[in-house]
């Protein structure tokens, strides 16, 4: 049954296409004269369990736990349309498709945290509040939360301290994620719950009762030989295009110290002569401009590129691809993108650079942060010096200090 609202008709329909899992998308269809707009409701359902006449989902099995919340969500779309119809009638105004689409973006925001976080993240990205890499990371955190909850709708009032603790434990034991990765999930979810609190959608952010802290991981920097292997791999035209692109980006950070978030935004217009001027994303609120002189090798890596210098990939995809790249290059270290920044800092010190200059180049607020690269360099030097021991046979054991030889006759 199709209903109308001031010249705009609407009804719930199911897609004729069926996925490999046997499900079809459910749409809320709007029509205005010859203009048609299908809005995906984020619901997928078997075609044989959809009643077109009543525009309702039928249970797939006795006691189907999803059918009621999904039908309530479909009814909410209809309620929004009816509410807008009443508002237009009271104000003696015309309602069009664009008015409805804008209103539908709010469906589920107040109750379903999944919808709220997804819509808000997209809004922040489209308004340039967050960059592509951040939006992609937030989306990854949301998908992980969906894997944990295993339900299509997450009522925001279900998220409390106990829920957060169970999510963290699941991410560690079942999802097999490291401590800092889990902290990243918490950080992203906390952000959107904070937005929900400011909009008065929840009374209190549950993360005010739950704390988490990143820990220093096993930081590893590449040596000159390993960087050389990566450069050879980058020059190999037979390597897959995405791998070469990510390898190029990683090498650029090895010789500039840029974070992954900054390589996502670096643009040709930021380079004047041989100097890159950029406001690091991590410290963007300070507005401090970082000026990085580009070496000849750095310039060669981006030669001929215009606009954004590197293709946009999710941070997760980049780090997964780096594992493949490391294997191809014969590098037996746990290669992550941050290794590039560690490599830059460590090699700068090893090549005679001073800590104050390194602090400025890396955008640190204090040399206390930069000291980690001095320590990493010292550790690597000590390890290299131990290689001299391999040139000589082992020394005989030293006798105890109190050992005495045979007494000589007087």
pLDDT of residue 106: 54
CATH architecture of 224-385: Orthogonal Bundle (1.10)
Q: Is the dihedral of CA 283, 284, 286, 291 positive or negative?
A: positive
CA 283 to chain centre: 18
Environment class of residue 385 by beta-carbon count within 10 Å: exposed (0-12), middle (13-18) or buried (19+)?
Answer: exposed
Q: Which range has the worst mean pLDDT, 250-254, 257-261, 400-404?
A: 400-404
Write out pLDDT tens, residues 33-55: 778 888 888 889 999 999 998 98
Q: What is the mean pLDDT of residues 112-131?
A: 86
Residue ranges of the chain that CATH labels 1.10.150: 113-209
CA angle, 339 as apex, 338 and 340 as ends, to 5°? Answer: 85
Does 105 score more than 90 pLDDT? no
Percent of the chain whose pLDDT exceeds 90? 39
Residues in Cβ contact with 113 at an 8 Å cutoff, skipping those fewer than 6 apart? 154, 155, 156, 159, 192, 193, 196
The three-class DSSP label of residue 40 is: strand
Does 378 score more than 90 pLDDT? no
Write out pLDDT tens, residues 333-344: 888 898 999 899
Mean pLDDT of the chain: 84
Q: Which range has the worst mean pLDDT, 93-107, 281-295, 338-352, 369-383?
A: 93-107
344/350 Cα distance (integer angstroms)? 10
CATH 1.10.150 fits 113-209, yes or no: yes
Residue ranges of the chain that CATH labels 1.10.443.10: 224-385
User: Could you give the angle at which helices 67-91 and 97-104 cross, rounded to 10 degrees?
Assistant: 130
């Amino acid at each position: 049954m199709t209903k109308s609202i001031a010249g705009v008709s609407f009804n719930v329909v199911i897609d004729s296409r069926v996925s490999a899992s046997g499900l079809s998308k459910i749409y809320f269809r709007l029509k205005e004269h010859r203009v048609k707009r299908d809005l995906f409701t984020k619901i997928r359902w078997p075609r044989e369990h959809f009643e077109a006449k009543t525009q309702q989902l039928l249970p797939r099995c006795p006691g189907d736990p999803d059918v009621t919340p999904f039908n309530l969500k479909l009814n909410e779309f209809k309620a929004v349309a009816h509410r807008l119809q009443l508002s237009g009638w009271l104000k003696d105004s015309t309602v069009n498709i664009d008015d409805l689409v804008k209103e539908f973006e709010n469906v589920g925001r107040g109750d379903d945290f999944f919808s709220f976080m997804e819509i808000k993240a997209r809004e922040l990205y489209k308004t340039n509040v967050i960059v592509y890499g951040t939006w992609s990371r937030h989306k990854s955190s949301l998908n992980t939360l969906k894997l944990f909850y295993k339900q299509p709708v997450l009522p925001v009032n279900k998220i409390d301290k106990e829920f957060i603790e169970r999510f963290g434990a699941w991410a560690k034991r079942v999802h097999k994620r490291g401590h800092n990765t889990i902290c990243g999930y918490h950080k992203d979810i906390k952000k959107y719950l904070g937005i929900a609190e400011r909009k008065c959608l929840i009374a209190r952010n549950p993360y005010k009762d739950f704390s988490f802290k990143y820990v220093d991981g096993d930081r590893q920097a590449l040596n000159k030989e390993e960087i050389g292997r990566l450069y050879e791999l980058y020059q190999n035209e037979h390597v897959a295009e995405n791998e070469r692109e990510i390898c190029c980006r990683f090498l650029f950070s090895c010789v500039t110290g840029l974070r992954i978030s900054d390589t996502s935004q670096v643009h040709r217009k930021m380079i004047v002569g041989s100097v890159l001027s950029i406001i690091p994303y991590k410290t963007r609120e300070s507005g401090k401009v970082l000026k990085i002189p580009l070496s000849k090798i750095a310039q060669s890596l981006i030669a001929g590129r215009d606009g954004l210098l590197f293709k946009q990939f999710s941070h997760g995809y980049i780090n997964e691809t780096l594992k493949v790249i490391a294997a191809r290059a014969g590098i037996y270290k746990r290669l992550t993108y941050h290794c590039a920044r560690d490599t830059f800092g460590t090699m700068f010190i090893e090549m005679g650079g001073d800590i104050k200059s390194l602090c400025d180049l890396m955008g640190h607020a204090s040399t206390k942060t930069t000291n980690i690269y001095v320590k990493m360099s010292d550790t690597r030097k000590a390890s290299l010096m131990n290689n001299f021991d391999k040139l000589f046979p082992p020394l005989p054991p030293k006798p105890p200090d109190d050992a005495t030889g045979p007494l000589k006759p007087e």
